[in-house]
Amino acid sequence: MNDGGFILTAEHTSSTTTKVTSPNMPAAAASPLPKLSALPIIDITPFLHQDHHGRLSTAAAIHAACLEYGFFYLDISKYVDPSEPEELTRLAREFFALPQEEKDKISLKNEDHARGYARLKENVTNGKADAHEAIDFYRPVENPDKTKPIWGENQWPDIPEFREKYEVWIGKMKMLGIIVMEAMAAGLGMTHEEWADLRSQVDDSFWVMRIIGYPPLPNDHDGFSCGSHKDYGCLTLLYADPTPGALQVFLKDPGLLVDTDFEAPAEEAVEEGVWINADPIPGCIVCNIGEMWEIWTNGLYKSTLHRVVHRGSNYRVSIPFFFEPNFDALVKPLPAAHRIQDGAPDPFHKHAKQKDYEPVIYGEFLLKKVTNNFDTGKGKYD
Ligand SMILES: O=C(O)CCC(=O)C(=O)O
Ligand SMILES: [Fe+2]
């Protein structure tokens, strides 16, 4: 219960204004989670043009967001027309509304057990079935062979224009991935040569796209629509339909006082911190970083736990695009990260130098992850 004191709530805003509200004010939403959401909204537009000053502020904002949260909203309204992803969710709904046997025609079991459709509860996270169904697509490979993990072919629903429209989206998200990477390189103070080297590790991204359908969780359901996990790759570019109160992000150090009404379930209480809602914002996608960025920045940027708890009444659709490194990329701590760790005075020891992260070859890391999960029956997020 809240103790009758004031609750500080920070609304979704790109400024740093903090609003103080009395507990007697009407509740903004029925959600049991604190209303605090400090995730910044960052405009990518300056990186679509030669806007030097705009670039500096976008790059600095991304750097700050990655240091603090590992999550931010990216305003892409000047990059794609909002009607485009809306049309994609319409097509996804058309697919998920088909009879089960129709959907099973593109089951991932037909292929390499990674590309295709997974039924409701087929995916498991932290030992519990996720209450979602999904179709997964990976970057196509030369010489597909479905007996090898992730080396099969993508399977497309037989719905007019489905494939064409999603392929346009994939093209745009691949380009956006490079654009955000460039902004991140600028935020880290990388030289042109360093950026060229990093770019060469992601210019043939081994991307993954998931189209996820979430029926509402029954009231007595004690599980999750998608259990808490960190993304393991590079950058997640998430478009979700407008359903509020579904995607939640774990903030270790929220900074502001929040409503303490909410108690995390015991098995979720990993460490001190708070789960906040990351509700969709028109014109924006949610962007978060995966474990590869932890390695590149030698731990300066941390990939952040998130989960989905969808208790609304509608069928929610989300379309995460995982912009990943090239299959053969050697991912290791970047000189720019070492400079930050070795350099500036750091009174809070947040960026203190530590033992170097072990380098990985992305494809090997991915295969280990996928085959491990496959052998043990664990899910995509474990
Ligand atoms: O559906 C969402 O909002 C998030 C899904 C997610 O975190 C994932 O697929 O990795
Ligand atoms: Fe995720």
For 19-57, the pLDDT digits (tens) are 223 233 333 344 455 545 579 999 999 999 989 999 999
| Residue to probe by mutation, ligand 1, list 130, 230, 247, 315, most atoms within 8 Å of CB | 247
Identify the top-confidence range among 7-21, 43-57, 242-256.
43-57
Q: Answer whether residue 161 shows pLDDT above 50.
A: yes
* Cβ of residue 210 lying under 6 Å from some atom of ligand 1: yes
**264-293 pLDDT per residue, tens:** 444 444 567 889 999 999 999 999 999 999
For the beta carbon of residue 143, count every other beta carbon within 10 angstroms: 6
R_g over Cα of the chain = 21
Question: By CB neighbour count within 10 A (0-12 exposed, 13-18 middle, 19+ buried), where does 377 fall?
Answer: exposed
Q: Answer whether residue 368 shows pLDDT above 70.
A: yes
- Reported as a pLDDT band with limits 50, 70 and 90, residue 17 is very low
Q: Answer whether residue 232 shows pLDDT above 90.
A: yes
Q: Answer whether residue 95 shows pLDDT above 90.
A: yes
CA of 305 to the centre of ligand 2 (A): 8
Q: What is the pLDDT of residue 371?
A: 81
Q: Answer whether residue 376 shows pLDDT above 90.
A: no
* Cβ of residue 231 lying under 6 Å from some atom of ligand 1: yes
* Cβ of residue 306 lying under 6 Å from some atom of ligand 1: yes
Burial 243-273 (b: 16+ CB within 10 A, else e): bebbbbbbbeebeeebbeeeeeeeebeeeee
* Cβ of residue 116 lying under 6 Å from some atom of ligand 1: no
Q: Answer whether residue 182 shows pLDDT above 90.
A: yes
Q: Please give the average per-residue pLDDT across 346-364, as a whole number.
A: 80
Yes or no: say if 279 and 35 are a contact pair by the CB < 8 Å rule.
Answer: no
Q: Answer whether residue 122 shows pLDDT above 70.
A: yes
CA of 319 to the centre of ligand 1 (A): 8
ipTM: 0.99
Alpha helices by DSSP H, 124-265: 162-187, 192-199
This prediction's pTM: 0.87
Q: Answer whether residue 11 shows pLDDT above 90.
A: no
**296-354 pLDDT per residue, tens:** 999 999 999 999 999 989 999 999 999 999 999 999 999 999 999 988 666 566 666 66
- Mean pLDDT (the chain) is 86
Q: What is the pLDDT of residue 146?
A: 96
Domains of the chain and CATH, by start = 20-374 (2.60.120.330)
| Residue to probe by mutation, ligand 1, list 211, 226, 249, 250, most atoms within 8 Å of CB | 226
- Reported as a pLDDT band with limits 50, 70 and 90, residue 10 is very low
**Residues in the chain, total:** 382
**66-88 pLDDT per residue, tens:** 999 999 999 999 999 999 999 99
Count helices and strands in the chain by DSSP H and E runs? 8, 18
How much of the chain, in percent, has pLDDT values that exceed 70? 82
CA distance 203 to 193: 15
Query: Ligand 2 is a single-atom ion; what residues have CB below 5 A from it?
Result: 231
**208-225 pLDDT per residue, tens:** 999 999 999 988 777 899
Q: What is the pLDDT of residue 14?
A: 29
